[in-house]
Amino acid sequence: MSELPVHAPAVSTRATAAGLTAQEVLTAAGAKDSAVARVDGVLVDLTSVVAQDAVVEQVPYASPDGLAVLRHSAAHVLAQAVQELFPGTLLGIGPPIKDGFYYDFLPAQPFTPEDLSLIEKKMSDITRQRQRFSRRVVSERDAKAELGHEKFKLELIALKGSAPEESVEVGGTELTIYDNLVGTETVWSDLCRGPHLPTTRDIPAFKIMRSAAAYWRGDQANEQLQRIYGTAWASKDDLKEHLRLIEEAEKRDHRRLGVELDLFSFPDEIGSGLVVFHPKGGVIKREMEDYVRRRHLEEGFDYVGTPHIAKEGLFHTSGHLPYFADGMFPPMVMEGSDYYLKAMNCPMHNLIYRSRGRSYRELPLRYFEFGSVYRNEPSGVIHGLTRVRGFAQDDSHSYCTKEQAPDEVKHLLTFILGLLKDFGLDDFYLELSTRDDSKPDKFVGTNEDWVTATAVLEQCARDTGLELVPDPGGAAFYGPKISVQARDAIGRTWQMSTVQYDFNQPRGFELEYQAADGSRQQPVMIHAAKFGSIERFIGVLTEHYAGAFPAWLSPVQVVMIPVHSDYDGYLWEVAAQLKASGVRVEVDDSDDRMQKKIRNAQKLKVPFMLIAGGEDVEAGAVSFRFRDGTQDNGIPVADAVARIVEAVLSRA
RNA sequence: GCCGGCUUGGCGCAGCGGUAGCGCAACGCUCUUGUAAAGCGUAGGUCGUCGGUUCGAUCCCGACAGCCGGCUCCA
């Protein structure tokens, strides 16, 4: 979003003599505002000496590389501030990230909010001192000696060369340490690849955001460190704009809007991660479901229904219990059997398939339902509607021959993308989740089947023309998957739909069809959730629209407001006409004054307010006020009704 | 699940070792004339739950539950 402002093209020039610094070369070429330089394609400090004839490019602060460097430099200042305030605190890593940076620490005590204010102040002190970042190449041996007390840094040095991913600390062919100099005195040092800004004073704008815990090197089995997040920008204005965007995002948080618009809640008495939809949220849910069900029928799916629980054996047959038991609610015992709440619908659909013999003529056979599933999500991951313990998937399973599989996957992808567009989402990319070959115990099936299935999905994904991002190791235990990631109105991405290619469950359930030659063959099944989960989708839509749903989804489509209570009766008559056309309309005949009624309807983000006073009554008209505050006055009632009905039908 | 923070009427917030206030919403009355807040009054809380410390706990301590921010995980 704000990461890529329009700027003059970066200056690119050549070093005309030996012994010049990148800064000197760029200044001679008239380039100001450089965070670092790119010399022959490599980012280096402005203070580094460049070879004669080297190509030296300016890297502006506001460029992606420039931002990464200034954020990384800010991370260094953070680490320095922490170690000065809390001596003995060990350092983890401190990379730049989207919008900012973080640094991981192992302090004696976790940081308090007061600590964070102190740290931010200390950082300001350090930046004011204009400390110079000075690069020094060290041998591995010297680095180990110098950093002997920093056990995490030692681990990074040991990983150098063996780690597949390069980090901001080590990488490339040599180890470097950056010293912070005041005059000629070194006041602080850190193992770092660089490059950095020339001085701490060159960090244009930063702010400490929050602290949180994080596992060392992202592994739950490792020690937990304290991470401090900050944000940093190329100018104070950029920082202000970033903070404003955060505020905007908070305003459209679906958890907040859920309360304000009376859509849903999460009663403690029911349990964590279990939602109840209130009548207004129920309208949105019903409209969505009705539309999605209709579209499935149009696309050749059969609507089916299955229970919420099943005996243990079913989930053994499907293979879920061995691989997914931790993700399921614990069983309940009845009449000597263990019953599980289902965490997925496929096993039950398989039983419908298996209920009688199947012919190749029936394939592809497509079952669809809003299947309620329950998953034992760890308490710490539950989040509003986007991560719950009980939810409905708009789940389908397509049974087809191997030969039909590519076409069926394509069919599903086309269907899904069209459906998401119908709900106002139109910016997507795809993710291809594949098997992790180093963890064979987490996946079932032969290598050959995995290769085939993955190839089919990859080809279909490429055929959409959308960006395709690999997700190694992200596959389900029974097969690879494509997931559709949608970007919302303010650029955040959400995982929505999934399409999974499954050759394992048909084997486990011994699913068969009789082929044209009379032989019995095994079908493959394609799992597909279009919205992923109804609950998550409602949460995402709420944020996408900031609660201002399009008219067809709005819980209340029209609020009628009399200028004076004398006109209540007239509005009730108009409302009756709207109701007769299927419009969800309310008449505000409360004791509030007109202005207050407008305010109330505006806060509820009702798409149409219809206001009427003496002038309208005389003319047989009503006056529109729209959500954006604009008006359209004196519209004949029949026209007004037609306009509203048209807006709803067009799903605008 | 892990780390930290938080939990006071429906919602948003004060308060703080001597058993609680404000605004909005609700309810009642008086109002109502053209596009974002009329006035007055009334009612509503065993301060998340359980235990401990104390003469006395909403306040201090502990456990549990829930929520929030992250990590890990995921539709």
**CATH no. for residue A164?**
3.30.980.10
Report if CB A591 to strand B is under 7 Å.
yes
Q: Do A51 and A83 belong together in one domain?
A: no
Chain B nucleotides reached by a protein CB under 7 Å? 1-5, 11-12, 25-26, 29-38, 65-75
Please indicate, yes or no, if residue A173 is contained in any of the structural domains: yes
Q: What tokens were used for A27?
A: 């200044």
Token pair 């799916």: residue = A301
A308, A312, A301: which is closest to A396 by C-alpha? A301
Report if CB A472 to strand B is under 7 Å.
no
* Domain range enclosing A299: 282-306+341-379+394-544
Q: Is there a catalytic annotation at residue A135?
A: no
Q: Is there a catalytic annotation at residue A460?
A: no
Q: Of all helices (H) and strands (E), which one includes residue A116?
A: helix A113-128
Q: Do A130 and A231 belong together in one domain?
A: yes
For residue A182, what pLDDT is reported? 94
Q: Do A183 and A214 belong together in one domain?
A: yes
Please indicate, yes or no, if residue A298 is contained in any of the structural domains: yes
DSSP of A34-98: EEEEEETTEEE-TTSEE-TT-EEEEEETTSHHHHHHHHHHHHHHHHHHHHHHSTTPEE----EET
SS3 A424: coil
Which stretches of A359-483 are DSSP H helices?
405-422, 447-463
Strand order in the sheet with A132-138: A132-138, A175-182, A185-191
CA-angle at A533, arms to A462 and A272, nearest 5°: 140
CB hemisphere CA count around A260 (13 angstroms):
19
For residue A159, what pLDDT is reported? 79
Report if CB A565 to strand B is under 7 Å.
yes
In whole angstroms, what is the distance from residue A210 CA to residue A116 CA? 8
Q: Is there a catalytic annotation at residue A439?
A: no
Q: Is there a catalytic annotation at residue A400?
A: no
Where does a domain end: A205, A226, A249?
Answer: A249
Please indicate, yes or no, if residue A242 is contained in any of the structural domains: yes
DSSP of A118-179: HHHHHHHHHHHTTPEEEEEEE-HHHHHHHTTT-HHHHHHHHHTTT-SS--SSS-TTSEEEEE
Q: Is there a catalytic annotation at residue A285?
A: no
Report if CB A271 to strand B is under 7 Å.
yes
Strand B contacts (CB < 7 A) among A residues 78-117? 110, 112-113
**Which residue numbers in chain A have pLDDT < 50?**
1-6, 164-165
Give the model confidence (pLDDT) of A485-526 as tens digits.
998 888 888 888 999 999 999 999 999 999 999 999 999 999
A373, A352, A482: which is closest to A430 by C-alpha? A482
For residue A172, what pLDDT is reported? 62
In whole angstroms, what is the distance from residue A464 CA to residue A418 CA? 12
Q: Which member of A160, A481, A530, A625 is catalytic? A: A481
In whole angstroms, what is the distance from residue A24 CA to residue A30 CA? 10
Query: Which CATH number characterizes residue A451's domain?
Result: 3.30.930.10
Nearest 10 degrees: Cα torsion A588, A590, A592, A598: -10
Strand B contacts (CB < 7 A) among A residues 125-184? none
For residue A322, what pLDDT is reported? 86
Please indicate, yes or no, if residue A620 is contained in any of the structural domains: yes
In whole angstroms, what is the distance from residue A481 CA to residue A501 CA? 6
- Taking a C-beta distance cutoff of 8 angstroms, is the pair A373, A345 a contact? yes
Q: Which member of A217, A375, A544, A605 is catalytic? A: A375
Which letter does DSSP use for residue A476 in this model? B
Report if CB A267 to strand B is under 7 Å.
no
In whole angstroms, what is the distance from residue A316 CA to residue A415 CA? 32
Provide the CA A153 to C1' B65 distance, Å, integer: 40
In whole angstroms, what is the distance from residue A646 CA to residue A522 CA? 49
Report if CB A310 to strand B is under 7 Å.
no
Where does a domain end: A544, A577, A593?
Answer: A544
Query: Which CATH number characterizes residue A586's domain?
Result: 3.40.50.800
| Total domains in the fold of chain A | 4
Provide the CA A534 to C1' B64 distance, Å, integer: 32
Q: Do A533 and A563 belong together in one domain?
A: no
Q: Which member of A153, A342, A397, A435 is catalytic? A: A397
Please indicate, yes or no, if residue A6 is contained in any of the structural domains: no
Amino acid at A71: R
Q: Do A77 and A41 belong together in one domain?
A: no
Please indicate, yes or no, if residue A621 is contained in any of the structural domains: yes
Where does a domain end: A509, A544, A579?
Answer: A544
In whole angstroms, what is the distance from residue A567 CA to residue A617 CA? 8
Which letter does DSSP use for residue A111 in this model? P
Relative orientation angle of helices A534-544 and A279-298, to the nearest 10 degrees: 110
Please indicate, yes or no, if residue A264 is contained in any of the structural domains: no
Q: Do A139 and A226 belong together in one domain?
A: yes
Nearest 10 degrees: Cα torsion A134, A135, A136, A140: 130
Report if CB A272 to strand B is under 7 Å.
yes
For residue A122, what pLDDT is reported? 94
Strand bridging mode A428-434 / A468-472 = parallel
Q: Do A104 and A156 belong together in one domain?
A: yes
Q: Do A103 and A178 belong together in one domain?
A: yes
Q: Do A80 and A53 belong together in one domain?
A: no
Residue A95 contacts by C-beta under 8 Å, 6 or more apart in sequence? A72, A75, A101, A102, A167, A168
CA A390 to centroid of chain Cα atoms: 20
Strand B contacts (CB < 7 A) among A residues 241-260? 255, 259
Q: Do A530 and A574 belong together in one domain?
A: no
Amino acid at A80: Q
Report CA-CA distances (Å) from A483 to A288, A454, A505, A533: 21, 13, 20, 13
Please indicate, yes or no, if residue A323 is contained in any of the structural domains: no
Q: Do A423 and A477 belong together in one domain?
A: yes
Integer-rounded Cα radius of gyration of chain A: 31
Q: Do A582 and A502 belong together in one domain?
A: no
Q: Is there a catalytic annotation at residue A346?
A: yes
Provide the CA A310 to C1' B52 distance, Å, integer: 45
Q: Is there a catalytic annotation at residue A651?
A: no
Q: What is the ipTM of this complex?
A: 0.94
